[in-house]
């Protein structure tokens, strides 16, 4: 086994040890095929008010602009599928990824530990860790690394584990053995396109982000009105519809990450609790949660909008 193969084995062993469900590696290079797709997506204004999506165009496509001397992009999956769907008792729906602690903090801590352990076993490694917090095309890198394929809903799908996973990356200056992309297994299925109530999936693999329920319930500022008549289907933070209907998610299994378990306050919420929520209750129920991103005013706006539909 040469040093490249040995280092790759170490990286994948650390990923498994830290609880990541999958680990794939791609060569850090310019994403030439993605450049025109991203340009067209932005030209159609599918990012809506998400102005940050138009920033750092070059960095999104070239990991060496984020990490000088980068040679490898390590793509990782971390399961967040819950033990229990809270929607039936709540009435109002939260995306499953938001049931527990904010994944940015939880996973970034694991990534820092990952890099520390890699340095202990391999030696000096230059690089950075990312989890949905920088201009990194996470799904495209995961696809290149053979972790899964891009489904018609634009999400990364895996044949054995579904899609309820957080994506994370290490971009490092270490040359590794690179994985090969897997084939697309969506076939003729159109369940995600058929189920989206706002028709946000404009064509297979292309999502108009400005029409997505997650956009309406998270990205729109609290003072911005949700367009009248948009069917939010009781979602008040994010949306899982295109994942819930995906046949590959029949393979989803509950996570074993304590930080992602809902606290007792969230577990005990009932429809009236959402409708009568105060700022104090919001702070208690969503302490350390990704839901804080919408702020109290935003969540209350969403609840009021859904209640009137």
Confirm whether pTM is higher than 0.85: yes
Name the band, by pLDDT with cuts 50, 70 and 90, for residue 60: very high
Q: Which domain holds residue 70?
A: 3-83+96-172
Q: What is the DSSP string of 31-68?
A: -TTHHHHHHHHHHTTTTTT-GGGGS-HHHHH-GGGTST
Query: What pLDDT does residue 27 have?
Result: 98
pLDDT tens-digit series, residues 247-265: 999 999 999 999 999 999 9
Distances in Å between the alpha carbon of 302 and those of 148, 230, 234, 279, 285? 33, 12, 9, 14, 16
Say how far residue 103 (Cα) sits from the centre of its chain: 9
Within-domain flag for 38: yes
Domain total of the chain? 1
Within-domain flag for 28: yes
Within-domain flag for 201: no
CA atoms of 75 and 292, how far apart (whole Å): 27
Within-domain flag for 200: no
List CB contacts of 278: < 8 A, sequence separation 6 or more.
none
Name the band, by pLDDT with cuts 50, 70 and 90, for residue 68: very high
Name the band, by pLDDT with cuts 50, 70 and 90, for residue 167: very high
Within-domain flag for 39: yes
pLDDT tens-digit series, residues 114-137: 999 999 999 999 999 999 978 999
CA atoms of 254 and 89, how far apart (whole Å): 19
Query: What pLDDT does residue 309 have?
Result: 86
Is the model's pLDDT at 229 over the cut of 90? no
Poorest-pLDDT segment among 119-128, 221-230, 290-299 = 221-230
Within-domain flag for 76: yes
Within-domain flag for 305: no
Structure tokens at 37: 């797709």
Is the model's pLDDT at 302 over the cut of 80? yes
132 catalytic, yes or no? yes
Catalytic residue among 33, 62, 116, 132: 132
């Amino acid at each position: 086994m040469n040093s490249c193969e040995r280092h790759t084995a170490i990286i994948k062993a650390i990923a498994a040890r830290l609880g990541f469900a999958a680990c794939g590696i791609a060569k850090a290079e310019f994403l030439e095929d993605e450049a025109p797709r991203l340009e067209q997506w932005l030209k159609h204004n599918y990012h809506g008010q998400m102005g940050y999506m138009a920033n750092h165009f070059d960095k999104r496509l070239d990991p060496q602009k984020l990490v000088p001397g980068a040679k490898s992009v390590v793509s990782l999956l971390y399961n967040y599928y819950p033990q229990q769907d809270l929607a039936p008792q709540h009435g109002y729906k939260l995306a499953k990824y938001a049931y527990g602690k904010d994944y940015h903090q939880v996973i970034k801590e694991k990534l820092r530990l990952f890099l520390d352990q890699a340095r202990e076993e391999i030696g000096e490694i230059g690089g950075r860790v990312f989890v949905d917090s920088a201009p990194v095309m996470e799904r495209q890198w995961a696809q290149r690394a053979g972790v899964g394929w891009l489904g018609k809903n634009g999400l990364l799908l895996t044949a054995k584990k579904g899609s309820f996973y957080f994506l994370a990356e290490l971009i490092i200056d270490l040359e590794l053995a690179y994985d090969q992309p897997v084939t697309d297994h969506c076939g003729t299925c159109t369940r995600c396109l058929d189920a989206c109530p706002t028709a946000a999936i404009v064509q297979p693999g292309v999502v108009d982000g400005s029409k997505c329920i997650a956009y309406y319930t998270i990205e729109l500022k609290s003072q911005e009105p949700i367009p009248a008549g948009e069917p939010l289907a009781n979602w008040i933070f994010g949306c899982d519809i295109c994942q819930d209907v995906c046949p590959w998610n029949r393979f989803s299994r509950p996570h074993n990450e304590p930080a992602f378990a809902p606290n007792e306050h969230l577990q005990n919420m009932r429809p009236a609790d959402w409708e009568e929520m105060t700022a104090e209750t919001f702070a208690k129920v969503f302490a350390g949660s990704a839901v804080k991103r919408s702020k109290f005013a935003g969540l209350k706006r969403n609840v009021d909008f859904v209640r009137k539909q």
